[in-house]
Amino acid sequence: MRSQASPESPFKALSDRERQVIGLAAAGLVDKQIGQELDVSVNTLRTYWSRIREKVGEGPRPALVAAYVTDELSSNLPDPLNPLLTEGWVMDADTRMLLATDTINDDHGLERGIPHPALDYARMTHPEDVDRVRDSVFAVADGKMDSVHLVFRMVTPRGVELVNSSVHGIRNEQGRVTKVYGFRVRSLDCRPGHDNIVQIGHWERDHSGGVFTIDSGLAEIIGRPGARSLALSEVEALLPPAEFASIAESMDHAVEHGLDRLEGDLRFIRPDGEAVWSRITRRIVRSEDGGVKVYGTLVVFR
């Protein structure tokens, strides 16, 4: 991965307005929204995109946007402490797109050399630490703090590892944070034991519905490789009766009383009859129309 934008970078030829257009696209806006933001017509916007392609080359818009964000993030980084030369990352403070070194992308199963949404890197953070890490990094991005040192746990196929990370903001001449960069060091492997296996899985569902959407990690944990959804009756069959009644009651209580998070221990039964203890975290998200979505994370130590 290159550590700095090349002096011959074609993006340097873009005008300020052209950079605004591609920058807003990188922030997730579609043409109609970009036009409204810049107060220009769709036809004018098409002209800007044509000029951008003339200067940086032809290609699908997602590829152009990814190349632009990569170029922006990897330029004007502090040397010799360039995070992209070690084990680190750089995030755009506005778009929350993050460019990381190959080792970090490999850990998270993400494609090397291109930016990804910052939240894509949160999925392996221990459920008990993820809110604190996210809030701290975003506080630096929002200019509320200049820097922060974090110690948190990552759940990996190797076990639960302790990570030390330093996070810093880069401000422009007006004092606004434009980029956030960080380094990390895995200082300790805190697996419960060398023979233990640690697994992590995720699921989500509408609280009023009966279907759980699950990821491959959870499918593996419950012995159902390839499954991507479970009916409520299938979930009930995985749990001892008293366990199922308890978590259903606690979930209803949390929704009724406006709670947004539940944590606890959960025992479930594998297809071979083995009873396994796990740590479960549930996040409760309410929409404006009154709907309730529940997101769950299960961590298993064996």
Residues 53, 96 within the same domain: no
Taking the C-alpha atoms of residue 222 and residue 242, their distance in angstroms, rounded to an integer, is: 19
From residue 262, alpha-carbon distances to 79, 127, 138, 296 in Å are 43, 11, 23, 9
Residues 183, 204 within the same domain: no
**5 part of a folded domain:** no
Domain boundary among 55, 73, 91: 73
How much is the average pLDDT of 13-19?
Answer: 86
Residues 264, 283 within the same domain: yes
Domain boundary among 161, 189, 217: 189
Identify the weakest region by mean pLDDT among 30-34, 64-68, 101-105, 177-181: 64-68
Instruction: Specify the pLDDT at position 299.
Output: 78
Instruction: Specify the pLDDT at position 143.
Output: 92
Residues 120, 22 within the same domain: no
* DSSP-assigned states of every residue in the chain: --SS--TT-GGGGS-HHHHHHHHHHHTT--HHHHHHHHT--HHHHHHHHHHHHHHH----HHHHHHHHHHHHHTSS--SSS-GGGTTEEEEETTT-EEEE-HHHHHHHT--TTS-EEGGGGGTTB-TTTHHHHHHHHHHHHTTS-SEEEEEEEEEETTEEEEEEEEEEEEE-TTS-EEEEEEEEEEEEE--S-TT--EEEEEEEEETTSSEEEE-HHHHHHTT-TT--EEEHHHHHHHS-HHHHHHHHHHHHHHHHTT--EEEEEEEEE-TTS-EEEEEEEEEEEE-TTS-EEEEEEEEEE-
Instruction: Specify the pLDDT at position 189.
Output: 47
How much is the average pLDDT of 246-274?
Answer: 83
| 152: Cβ contacts below 8 Å, ≥ 6 apart | 125, 126, 129, 132, 133, 162, 163, 165
**1 part of a folded domain:** no
Instruction: Specify the pLDDT at position 133.
Output: 92
**227 part of a folded domain:** yes
**297 part of a folded domain:** yes
Identify the weakest region by mean pLDDT among 62-76, 185-199, 248-262, 282-296: 185-199
| 50: Cβ contacts below 8 Å, ≥ 6 apart | none
pLDDT in tens, 117-155: 888 888 888 888 888 999 999 999 999 998 888 888 888
Contact between residue 298 and residue 284 where contact means Cβ atoms under 8 Å apart: no
Which percentage of the chain shows pLDDT scores above 70? Answer: 86
**3 part of a folded domain:** no
Q: Domain holding 268: CATH number?
A: 3.30.450.20
Q: What's the number of domains the chain is made of?
A: 3
Taking the C-alpha atoms of residue 298 and residue 283, their distance in angstroms, rounded to an integer, is: 12
pLDDT in tens, 203-254: 899 988 889 999 888 888 888 888 889 998 898 888 888 788 888 888 888 8
**55 part of a folded domain:** yes
Residues 102, 158 within the same domain: yes
| Of 191, 136, 183, residue with least CA distance to 162 | 191
**239 part of a folded domain:** yes
Average pLDDT of the residues of the chain: 81
| 160: Cβ contacts below 8 Å, ≥ 6 apart | 126, 153, 154, 190, 191, 192, 198
Instruction: Specify the pLDDT at position 1.
Output: 33
Residues 39, 105 within the same domain: no
- Look up the domain containing 152 and give its range: 83-189
Taking the C-alpha atoms of residue 100 and residue 221, their distance in angstroms, rounded to an integer, is: 29
Residues 148, 104 within the same domain: yes
